[in-house]
Structure 1
Amino acid sequence: MTNKFSQWSSLSAWSVISFTLFAIKQVFSSGYALIPVVYTGWNQGFSSPWVIVVAVLSVLSILIYSVLQWLKFRFKIDKDKLNIKHGVIFKKVDEIPFNKIQNVRLQQPLYFRPMGLYSIVVETAGSKGNEAELSALDYKEALALKKRLMAEQDQHSQTANTEAISNEDSENQHNIVARKSLKELVLFGLYQNNAIWLAVILGPIFGQLDWESMENLQSMQSFWAWYDTNIAVSMVLQLAFAMFALTLFYLLFSLLSIASAVLKYSPYRLTRSGNTLHRTGGIIAKQNDALAIKRIQVVKFYQPLVGRLFKLWTVYFQQVKGHEVEHRGSNNMLVPSMNRNNILELLPKLKGIEATSTQLPHRYQHINLGWFWRRGWLPLLVPAINTYFHGLDIFTEILWVGASIFCLGIYLRYRQYGYVIEGDNLWFHSGLLGHSWQLIALTKVQHVAITQSPNQKRSQLANLEIGLASGNIKLPYITVEDARHIAERSLTLIHNDHRNWI
């Protein structure tokens, strides 16, 4: 199979579908903000025949451009790199060394399922998008190509570089790291709900509805009459009703998040083959993501506010900053719906990530209270100044309430800041209403910086910045002793370590 790809090869003609959909996605991702405008104009009689002409020309342009992309696309595999030629107007040649590849994702979109075709997505360290995508490949070809690209990371794949392995055989070779049932994925969609962005998009559309005519509906008048009779009579009942309405709103929007989680991840399965993690799942678009374990820089455990009620965490594997498989809001190799016992079972199976901790800490060392005093009183300046000049009125009262809530948020953030030093590992805790733990192996540290203000010097405090390939982590207002210990230990570990930190 490798010999087939040793010469410049073209993709199947079916790949035109992928090129077309990608072009359409680019158009919509650049113009999604126009949706409310188009919707509003359409309701107001926006029916010019030029709209149809522009739409037809746009579709034809996208189709022609996609066909040209397919005709110009070529790829081949050399001994240690993947070469790709592409470009319609400007010709480009990409060379992707195997040892720079972070992730290889094998996926089967819904539109390829009738033909039994798959796509290979390649991601490299530091890239902000997919480095390469080879679409419309036969399953055996796609699987062999995936194994070839990950051969540098997976010692057990060396004997499989030149032959196609069936799906059943490859599954048997993988050790199970985690499985997730339908119930656990539903819970994941419930507590990981990001429906606020949908509300932002629907807001302008709802603003175009004729609310005055809706108020005249008999059902609405009956509802308000019931509300005035039974709810408006008590402040406690009004607060309870408002909480009920917010909860119902959250649950309704959660249906979209739950459906998305189930469709994307079910049946969820995380396996390990040699030094590579594989995640499989997906109902509409089947996916098979591969991540080299040594590429993991930080293991993050995130628990949003609703997740705290269920005592469930989401585990993220953070890689080199730029592009990460299944990052929140994007694409990140994650493990959903994990309780503390699940995490206790998971961490020992991730041998090779440098960090050696095996369980999530229960407590952490708080940062100094000086961090809060330096920031906590600032929001109160605005209402204080307004009260001094204008006196206490309804406006300044609202300012005082808002400033008090802001101060409370700063205090909650201060209470969440903390750290745990555990041998050659560092746990960093942060959050506001939710929780976040980050597990850092000090052997992955690239640089450290200790800074002190005059007040911090007098109090024997310092700010510590830890530089990692996945980004910087800052520990403010910790003791100078701990800051120096972490910095010196990190530098000692990496001084004679000449391994590739990526």
Structure 2
Amino acid sequence: MDKELNSTLDDIDNATDNTSEQQNTSNNWQRISPIALIYFVLMFIKNIFGNFIYVAPALLIGYNKIAEDPSFWLPFIYGLSALLGLASLLSYYFFQYRLTNQQIEIRSGVFAKKYVNLPFSRIQNVELTEPLYYRPFGYTCMQLDTAGSVKQEAKVVALKKSFAEQLKHEILAAHLVQSDKAESLTDDESVTNEAPVPNEDDETVLDRRNLDDLVIHGLTNNRVWIFLGGMAPFMDRISSTIGEWLMMFGINVNQYFEFEGRSGWQIASTVLSTFLIVMLIISIFSVLGSIIAFHDFKLSKIGDRYIRRSGLFTKTEVTMRLSRLQMIVRQQDWLDILLGRINLKFEQSNANFNNPNAGQLTNKIIVPSVTNKECQQLMLDAYPDNQLKNTKFKRVHPRLLIRNIFLFLLPITSVVAWVLIEHDKIEGLYYLGSGTAFIGFLMVMRYLRWGYAKDDNFIYVRQGVLGVDYLTFPIYKVQQTSFKQSWFLKRKQLCSIEFVLAAGAVNVPYLPQEDGLELINSSLYEVEESKRNWM
């Protein structure tokens, strides 16, 4: 098989044209295409503005100074542009890769040199990403992940799409053959027959998302408020600019917010209409974001691999092997519950989740806004034996709610109320009471959502506040357990437990000690008894 893979790579090399990213010989270091300069420039800009919370004050001050004297800041703008250009040129110059003996080697870095050597057989995931600026030229980014340390991931940022597709096929074929050999090998015999490689013609489409599905997803999973929070330092300037612009059309915004002499219903009407307009604008942006991210969404399956393709401007293809699936999350926000929609997440290893240089590789496949029937079909395809639909959950102990109310909510409310009374702000007590009642309601909902269950193959956890999430994971995927019991919990025969998987930790608080020990002991026994590989 090794000779065949070498021969195939040589065929790929001979089939590609004479661009820098395509191989003339598999033993020579190759440079990527100069189009990668665009990628490096945009990545540097993204890294700068990715730390928005740190640079926001400087940007705010700089914006005011620029408005006062634009010419004064031109040298800084030119200097920053030159720095970005130089950094991008150096990053391109020092980026090289080569293919040898069914492995890929990558050298990169200007001052901090980085060398990555990945055998094809260790690569778990291959992601192809086509940014908008690559698409007219037929280039793509290839991200490789081994599901191990964050140091074992690599990205080739500019490959011809045809070459990347063939290379991906060889990588997945090598990994499949290696896995089949490991599973089939015994003490007395070795595998001589090569495992068949799944053909792309065998790809089965499991799910597609239409435009109306993406619109619903944008409405129910509105995250634009995060962006608005980041824009808070600039809101005064933005509102002033908008007001001046509207004045050009004879619209005086300020007069709508002059409440002196107006009745209560007029003030309430103004506030309500303003709130609805703002929410409409936010919803439009959220829907656009959903369409951009999940346009032309398709979830397919070839053999034991899931393939997700989506994206309007940047097309992304993510491949995930079924054995690497750690947990399925069935997620519903409160509006999802009203509309009967579910967001389904296939969680993988999160080894690269906290790595700022991990590129675009995701640790999950998200299927947005599916119906209950579609959700059930997808879950059964991945975990045929799961019984989530018919599972009865046990609720955590009420002392969790009692602790939150009497240890946190009431003491803080009492202190704030005392401060208001001392400063003769009696009217503030009405707002304090409303806020306390709302927070108390959220605490009650949080308690009611908590639940847990177990069968012979899976552990199920329910959590949420207004919405509800259901977490399902096979018992043999558990890598570590934790039993937590404070002095207070021990007196009440209660405990909190934690299951650690490759996809992250799952916590269950304030359950009976007997249930906690049974869950942990039975899980560890299953892991030891089955001896199944979590990957």
CA distance in 2, matches of 1:395, 1:226: 21
Deviation at 1:396, TM superposition (A): 4.5
Deviation at 1:149, TM superposition (A): 2.9
CA distance in 2, matches of 1:357, 1:386: 48
Q: Would you say the 8 A contact 1:83–1:94 is kept in 2?
A: yes
- 2:471 alignment partner, one of 413, 438, 452: 438
Give the aligned partner of residue 474 of structure 1.
Answer: 507
Give the aligned partner of residue 371 of structure 2.
Answer: 339
3-state SS, counterpart of residue 330 of structure 2: strand
CA distance in 2, matches of 1:178, 1:264: 16
Partner amino acid, structure 2, of 1:125: A
Deviation at 1:288, TM superposition (A): 1.4
Report the TM-score when normalising by structure 1: 0.85
Q: Deviations over 1:269-322 (max 9, x none)?
A: 000111211111222222211112212211112212222221211111222233
Partner amino acid, structure 2, of 1:138: K
Q: Would you say the 8 A contact 1:316–1:335 is kept in 2?
A: yes
Give the aligned partner of residue 449 of structure 1.
Answer: 482
Partner amino acid, structure 2, of 1:179: R
Instruction: Say if 1:293 and 1:206 are closer, same or farther in 2 by CA, change over 3 A.
Output: same
Q: Would you say the 8 A contact 2:396–2:511 is kept in 1?
A: yes
Q: Would you say the 8 A contact 1:264–1:282 is kept in 2?
A: yes
Partner amino acid, structure 1, of 2:409: P
Deviates more, 1:255-264 or 1:189-198: 255-264
Deviates more, 1:190-199 or 1:303-312: 303-312
Partner amino acid, structure 2, of 1:301: R
Q: Would you say the 8 A contact 1:383–1:396 is kept in 2?
A: no
Q: Deviations over 1:238-276 (max 9, x none)?
A: 3x8756644442331122221122122211100011121
Deviation at 1:346, TM superposition (A): 0.7
CA distance in 1, matches of 2:137, 2:219: 34
Which runs of 5 or more structure 2 residues have no equivalent in the other structure?
1-7, 14-22, 181-196
Instruction: Say if 1:447 and 1:127 are closer, same or farther in 2 by CA, change over 3 A.
Output: closer
Give the aligned partner of residue 281 of structure 1.
Answer: 310
Partner amino acid, structure 2, of 1:437: Y
Q: For 1:35-434, list aligned pairs within 5 A.
A: 35-43=59-67, 45-49=68-72, 51-79=73-101, 81-125=103-147, 131-151=153-173, 154=176, 172-208=201-237, 209-210=239-240, 219-220=252-253, 223=256, 232-233=264-265, 238=268, 245-323=274-352, 331=362, 332-350=364-382, 356-357=385-386, 359-360=388-389, 364-377=393-406, 378-385=408-415, 387=417, 390=421, 393-434=426-467
Report the TM-score when normalising by structure 2: 0.80
Q: Deviations over 1:466-495 (max 9, x none)?
A: 121222211111123322222122111111
3-state SS, counterpart of residue 157 of structure 2: strand
Instruction: Say if 1:402 and 1:144 are closer, same or farther in 2 by CA, change over 3 A.
Output: same
Q: Would you say the 8 A contact 1:276–1:291 is kept in 2?
A: yes
Q: Would you say the 8 A contact 1:366–1:418 is kept in 2?
A: yes
Deviation at 1:94, TM superposition (A): 1.0
Partner amino acid, structure 1, of 2:334: L
3-state SS, counterpart of residue 433 of structure 1: coil
Deviation at 1:141, TM superposition (A): 0.6
Deviation at 1:92, TM superposition (A): 2.3
Instruction: Say if 1:204 and 1:211 are closer, same or farther in 2 by CA, change over 3 A.
Output: same
3-state SS, counterpart of residue 368 of structure 1: coil
Deviation at 1:147, TM superposition (A): 2.1
CA distance in 2, matches of 1:86, 1:301: 39
Partner amino acid, structure 2, of 1:47: P
Partner amino acid, structure 2, of 1:2: L
Deviation at 1:227, TM superposition (A): 11
Deviates more, 1:214-223 or 1:97-106: 214-223
CA distance in 2, matches of 1:227, 1:315: 51
3-state SS, counterpart of residue 233 of structure 1: helix
Instruction: Say if 1:112 and 1:227 are closer, same or farther in 2 by CA, change over 3 A.
Output: farther
Q: Would you say the 8 A contact 2:215–2:287 is kept in 1?
A: yes
Deviation at 1:35, TM superposition (A): 3.7
RMSD: 3.5
Deviation at 1:429, TM superposition (A): 0.9
Q: Deviations over 1:443-485 (max 9, x none)?
A: 1111222233444344433222212122221111112332222
Q: Would you say the 8 A contact 2:243–2:252 is kept in 1?
A: no
Q: Would you say the 8 A contact 2:97–2:107 is kept in 1?
A: yes
Instruction: Say if 1:66 and 1:425 are closer, same or farther in 2 by CA, change over 3 A.
Output: same
Instruction: Say if 1:96 and 1:55 are closer, same or farther in 2 by CA, change over 3 A.
Output: same
3-state SS, counterpart of residue 462 of structure 1: strand
CA distance in 1, matches of 2:174, 2:401: 48
Q: Would you say the 8 A contact 2:330–2:471 is kept in 1?
A: yes
Instruction: Say if 1:282 and 1:395 are closer, same or farther in 2 by CA, change over 3 A.
Output: closer
Q: For 1:479-498, list aligned pairs within 5 A.
A: 479-498=512-531
CA distance in 2, matches of 1:69, 1:210: 41
Q: Would you say the 8 A contact 2:243–2:253 is kept in 1?
A: no
CA distance in 2, matches of 1:497, 1:46: 71
CA distance in 2, matches of 1:228, 1:306: 38
Q: Deviations over 1:110-159 (max 9, x none)?
A: 1111211222122343566993221332222110122233335546999x
3-state SS, counterpart of residue 134 of structure 2: helix
CA distance in 2, matches of 1:224, 1:413: 38
Deviation at 1:77, TM superposition (A): 2.9
3-state SS, counterpart of residue 125 of structure 1: coil
3-state SS, counterpart of residue 301 of structure 2: strand
Partner amino acid, structure 2, of 1:492: Y
Instruction: Say if 1:459 and 1:90 are closer, same or farther in 2 by CA, change over 3 A.
Output: closer
Instruction: Say if 1:199 and 1:385 are closer, same or farther in 2 by CA, change over 3 A.
Output: closer
Give the aligned partner of residue 2 of structure 1.
Answer: 9
CA distance in 1, matches of 2:495, 2:170: 48
Deviation at 1:70, TM superposition (A): 2.1
Q: Percent identity?
A: 22
Q: Would you say the 8 A contact 2:388–2:460 is kept in 1?
A: no
> What is the aligned residue count?
482
Partner amino acid, structure 1, of 2:381: K
3-state SS, counterpart of residue 110 of structure 1: coil
Q: Would you say the 8 A contact 2:478–2:499 is kept in 1?
A: yes
